[in-house]
Structure 1
Amino acid sequence: MPLRDRAAGAVIAGAAGALTWVAWPLVPFTARLLPDALPAGRLLAGAVLAVVVVGAWKTWRRQKGPVWLGWLILGAWGAAAAVVAGMVAVVWLLLGSPGLEVPERLSPQNLDAIATRAFAVVAGLGAVAALVISYRRQRLTEKAEERENTRLFTERFEGASEKLGSEHAAVRLAGVHALAHLADDAPTQQLRQMCIDVLCAYLRMPYDPEPGPLPEDATDEQRAEHQKRSLEFAAFREVRHTIIRTITTRLREDAPVSWQGCDFDFTGTVFDGGDFTRAHFTTGTVDFTRAHFTTGVVDFSGAEFSGGTVDFTRAKFTGSTVNFVGAQFTGSTVNFFGAEFTGGTVNFVGAQFTGGTVNFTDAKFTDGRVDFAGLLSASGTCPQGLREAAAKAKPGVLQLPPQWRPSSAD
């Protein structure tokens, strides 16, 4: 049955019920005309109940998908009737519960009053039905717009993802920016996360190291091949670093569109540089598990870890400079469990550990320099497991403030 016909049927049924309710004096007046032995009230109540039950059962049998508009209208009428009945009951109680006088006969004035009240109630019910129909139409319009927005989003997503898979670096860079803007415009958090997942997946792709220097006796063919590989590497690295900058820009406090609260999966990613300065890791999960920091500078200077989880479990620091200078650890969980520091420099100078949980249990310090002291020592509570790791570290690798050294432990 079309929506318009169902609504019309509901309105007619409700109007008929309203007229019956408003014209209550006619019921006892008519009942007096019946024989005394006939239980008119019980018969009338039973008939009304049977009609309601049968109608509800048939409607339920036909019901498929969204709620039938007629039920919404009847529900709205029921709510309105309940409010009016409650108000009448309160007034009736305040007036001392006066009795109900049943007229012996209906005068023209009684009939005129009944008709007036009937038209008023029917008009009110019609207004309620119109509001329900208008609301339902608005909801259907919004759902249609939502489906259209999702369709357009999917088309843009597919186009941006194809660009990110191009063999040309310039096209891949265009794909990065297209996905970033698409994430900014995403109508839901789930769709935004989908764009972020693609960007992070690109960073997790296998990453060949930069070609080493050529031998002095290299042939022209070898030099040409080396130059080609170097250019490909530089282009690939530029796309990767652009993704990192794009993510960081949206994790800063002054970001026009914030990606805080989203998840970032850098599991196993090779980092040969990257700018995370002033990023705010406040909610969500940022996963650097088994990430490999090989060369270049990866900068977390001024970053704030105040919520969510940041995981460096079994990450490897082998040759890069990783800066946590002035970083603030105030309320998040940052896990360096089993991390390996075998080269390069990891700098925690000026970092503040004032809350949350920072865990270095089973971390290994065998080479390079990991500095918590420097000119401006790290402050606050010593991270968990750091003293124990320091006791096993190679001499000169791990630099701790005096109050954190194993000899000062309680």
Structure 2
Amino acid sequence: MTLKPFHRQWPNLRLWPIGPVLTIAFVAAVSIASIVFYAGWDLLGVQGIKSEKRIDSKTLFDLVKLSFGVVAGSGALVALIVAYRRQRVDEAGALRDATRLHTERFTTAVGQLGDESAAVRLGGIHALAGLADDAPTRSLRQTCIDVLCAYLRLPYRAEVDLPQDDATAQHEYLALREVRHTVIRVVRDHLRLPQTNPHSWQGYDFDFTNVVFDGGDFSKAIFSSGIIDFTGAQFTSGEISFRDARFTGSSVKFSNALFCGSSASFENAEFHDGSIIFDGVQFSNGSASFEKSQFSGGQVSFLGAQFSGVLINFYGADFRCSRGSVSFADAQFSGGWIHFEDARFSEGPVHFDGAQFAGGRLYYDRAHFSGATVSFNNAQFESGNVSFDEATFSSGWITFDDAQFLGGETSFSSARFSGATVNFRETQFGSGQVSFESAKFFEGIVGFGGAQFFGSSIDFFGAEFLGCEVSFVDAHFSGGTLDFDRAYGFAAPIGLPSTPESFVPPGLRMPTAWFGSTNSGA
């Protein structure tokens, strides 16, 4: 006989003594009948009952029928209570039998997982997965899942750590690798099933802490609710794929994980609600792609993440976290390539506060900033290249307050500022190059209030100032160059010299047409 999945979890069966139960049932039945009787009496407006000194045979027969009806109803009530109690006892007994059978099968499957033969272990994995599908309670299914995850957490050496001339070690590694990847495939296949499927594992917890992954496929998996924990996991080689995966309402943790030499793909992944935590994660060598992924609602955090010598791709990603946030605060970008081309930042806050850009290349080319609050406050641009070429800033807030440009090249060439508020308050331009060549300033506000220019080269060559308020109020010029060569507009930005007699700081070059303008704004 095949046991069907039974997911209602019964506590220890507790039944009251039959005597008190029947007493309570009869009292409840009489009370309900009385309430119904008096409600009908009141609704019908009855003034009293006509008394009879003698009754005929018909009335007597009706009284007899009423008596028998009361007795029959009482018997039916007793039978119903007894049947219900018997059903509870039978269900509890069936659950005990199913649990006992589950325990026997569980012991056998776990024994197979510990076998020296890889073939037996593979059989144990599928037996344990089938056992999880047939588990009579949610907790027993979670136990089966926990064992599969624990198997992955066992000590494991990646291929790069094996002796090159040891054929036996290589053979054992390949066999163990196949067993481990089978666990990953089994988990993925169950997470692909819709939540309405009785064999779906969505909503359960998965503990992958400190697991060593040398590849694996979680593509199209659906992580809905539950806790998915990759804390401290190591992705050392091969390809780990979360392509087309969906994270909806779950808590997914990659805190302090290490991506070293592997290729990780989150392409077209969807992050809705819940939380995705990459705090302290290290990306070194290898690559990671979030191309065209969607972040809407929930919390996505790369707090303190380290990107060094790696290719990270957020090309075409969509950040719309109206009910959450995306944070790269205190992240370190040193070497490698980080791509945000054609990404869209709309709604919700995106933080790069305190991030350090030292070496490598960071691209925001053609990115769209509309409605979101994107902050680079206290960020440090020390070397390498950061590009916002052809980016569009329309509505929302983009802030570089207290940021430091102390080396490398930062470019806003052909960027379009229309309707957004972009602030460089108290920003330090100490060295390196910052270019706004051919940028267009239409509507909105761009402020350099209190910015310090000492040693860097700022270039507004060919920029257009038409309708946007650009302000350099309280800016300090003590070195470097600020070049507006061939820039044009109706008036000079606020805070710059407005007449030929005004003091022009060394390194500041402005179009002659701006002298004598009202200087009331662009």
Does TM-score exceed 0.5, indicating one fold? yes
**What amino acid is aligned across from residue 301 of structure 1 in structure 2?**
R
SS in structure 2 opposite 1:183? helix
1:79 to 14, 19, 28: 28
> CA contact under 8 A between 2:235 and 2:260: conserved in structure 1?
yes
Which of 356, 360, 366 is matched with 1:396 structurally?
A: 360
Residue pair 2:246, 2:270 contacting (<8 A) in 1 also: yes
Deviations 1:178-232 (A, max 9, x none): 11111111122111111000000001111122265767xxxxxxx5xx1111111
- What is aligned with 2:172? 232
In the alignment, what sits opposite 1:220? none
Alignment of 1:47-62 (within 5 A): none
The partner residue of 2:283 within 341, 360, 365 is: 341
Task: Give the conservation status (yes or no) of the 8 Å contact 1:368–1:397.
Answer: no
Counterpart of 1:307 (choices 249, 253, 258) is: 249
One-letter amino acid matched to 1:172: R
Q: Name segments (4+ residues, structure 1) moved above 6 Å.
A: 101-112
Name the CA shift for 1:214/1:100 in 2 (closer, same or farther; >3 Å): closer
Distance in 1 of aligned mates of 2:126 and 2:364 = 42
Q: State how far apart, in whole Å, the 2-side matches of 1:213 and 1:131 are.
A: 70
Alignment correspondent of 2:341: none
Higher RCO, 1 vs 2 (CA within 8 Å, ≥6 residues apart): 1
Alignment partners' CA distance in 2, 1:193 and 1:153:
13
- Give 1 or 2: higher helix fraction: 1
Q: 1:104: Cα distance to partner?
A: 7.5
Q: 1:78 to 1:171 in 2, by over 3 A?
A: same
Structure-2 change in CA distance of 1:398 and 1:268 (3 Å): farther
1:119 Cα deviation from its structure 2 partner: 2.5
Which of 186, 189, 193 lines up with 1:246 in the alignment? 186
* Cα pair distance change 1:306/1:195, threshold 3 Å: same
Cα distance change of structure 1 residues 163 and 113 upon mapping to structure 2, 3 Å threshold: same
State which of 205, 209, 224 in structure 2 corresponds to 1:282: 224
Q: Aligned-pair distance for 1:108?
A: 8.6
CA contact (8 A) 1:371 1:398 kept: no
Change (3 A) 1:114 1:339: same
1:363 aligns with 2:298: no
- Residues 385/174 of structure 1: CA separation in 2 closer, same or farther (3 Å cut): same
Which residue matches 1:92?
41
Higher strand proportion (structure 1 or 2):
2
CA, structure 1 residues 393+173, in 2 after alignment: closer, same or farther (shift >3 Å)?
farther
Q: Aligned partners of 1:316 and 1:171: how far apart in 2?
A: 32
For the 8 Å contact 1:153–1:186, the answer to whether it is kept is: yes
Aligned amino acid, residue 158 of structure 1: T
Instruction: Check 1:120–1:290 CA distance in 2 against 1; reply closer, same or farther (3 A cut).
Output: same
- Alignment partners' CA distance in 2, 1:354 and 1:253: 23
- Distance apart, 1:94 and its partner CA: 3.0
Amino acid in structure 2 at the alignment position of 1:140: V
Change in 2 beyond 3 A, CA 1:403/1:90: closer
Residues 369 and 396 in structure 1, CA contact (< 8 A), matched pair in contact too: no
What does residue 151 of structure 2 align with? 202
Residue in 2 aligned with 1:38? none
Question: Against the structure 1 CA distance between its residues 381 and 392, is the aligned structure 2 distance closer, same or farther, given a 3 Å change threshold?
Answer: farther
CA distance in 2, matches of 1:95, 1:254: 56
| Offset, 1:130 | 1.4
Name 1:46's counterpart in structure 2.
Answer: none
Equivalent residue number for residue 297 of structure 1: 239
- The SS at the match of 1:346 is strand
What's the TM-score, normalizing by structure 2? 0.59
Q: Of residues 121, 125, 128 in structure 1, which corresponds to 2:77? A: 128
Paired AA for residue 392 in structure 1: Q
Offset, 1:350? 1.6
Q: Is the 8 A contact 1:365 1:394 kept in 2?
A: no
Q: TM-score by structure 1 length?
A: 0.74
Aligned twin of 2:137: 188
Matched, 1:319 2:268: no
CA distance in 2, matches of 1:297, 1:358: 23
What is the Cα deviation at residue 80 of structure 1?
A: 2.1
Helix, strand or coil at the partner of 1:341: strand
Counterpart pick for 1:170 among 119, 123, 145: 119
Contact 2:162–2:170 under 8 Å retained in 1: no
Equivalent pair of 1:282/1:305 in contact (CA under 8 Å): yes
Aligned positions of 1:205-220 closer than 5 A? 205-210=154-159
Q: How many residues align?
A: 335
- How far is 1:127 from its partner? 1.6
Q: Does the CA-based 8 Å contact 2:283-2:310 persist in structure 1? A: yes
Q: Take 1:385 and 1:116, find their aligned partners in 2: how far apart are those partners?
A: 79
* Alignment equivalent of 1:117, drawn from 48, 60, 66: 66
What is the root-mean-square deviation of aligned Cα atoms in Å? 2.8
CA gap 1:398/1:240 in 2 versus in 1, 3 angstroms: farther
Call closer, same or farther: CA 1:178–1:127 in 2, change over 3 Å.
same
